Amino acid sequence: MMAVLGRARPRWDVLVEAAVALGAKGEPRFYGRNYGWALGFRRRGRAVLALYAGVGRLAALVILNEAQVGEALRLRLEPSVRAAIEDTPPIKEGRWVFVSVANAKVARDVGRLVAIRAR
């Protein structure tokens, strides 16, 4: 995964550090041809973050329940992060929020979502 990240590596490092600082443990997982490899983080048995590496790009998945969605939307977020939350339809488990981590500000905001999820 590290080999393909390229310039996205610093954003990856920010999110890994954020998850680890909250006590989450990472484990590589393979999600098939469509999604490939990811580094999934769990804390107290609960998924808090998954990072998907692409060639020079990075995507993150954070699953938020509806209370956490409300808390997240009260934050001042980058427009792409806010749109990812608002545009994700709720399902039984909450909202599976996929975010393209295009820059350092988005990485910061995804880290904030992880903090909300980890509580």
Segment 65-77 shows an average pLDDT of 97
pLDDT at res. 3: 76
Mean pLDDT of 93-111: 96
Provide the mean pLDDT of the chain.
93
Q: What is the pLDDT of residue 87?
A: 97
Write the single-letter amino acid at 35. Y
For the chain, give the percent of residues with pLDDT over 70.
98
3-state secondary structure (DSSP) of residue 68: helix
Contacts of 107 (CB under 8 A, 6+ apart): 11, 14, 15, 101
Q: Which domains does the chain have, with CATH numbers?
A: 2-118 (3.90.1150)
Specify the pLDDT at position 85.
98
pLDDT at position 86, please? 97
Per-residue model confidence as pLDDT tens digits over 81-99: 999 999 999 998 899 999 9
Please give the span between the terminal C-alpha atoms of the chain, in angstroms, as a whole number: 28
Q: How far is CA 92 from CA 11, 98, 100, 115, 116, in A?
A: 30, 17, 23, 21, 19
Output phi, psi for 103, to 5 deg: -155, 180
Q: Which helix (H) or strand (E) holds 10?
A: helix 9-21
Other CB atoms within 10 A of residue 16 CB = 17
The pLDDT value given to residue 4: 80
Three-class SS state of 39 = strand
Read off the pLDDT of residues 7-43 as tens digits, 9 standing for 90 and up: 899 999 999 999 999 999 999 988 787 777 899 999 9
Q: What is the structure's pLDDT at 71?
A: 97
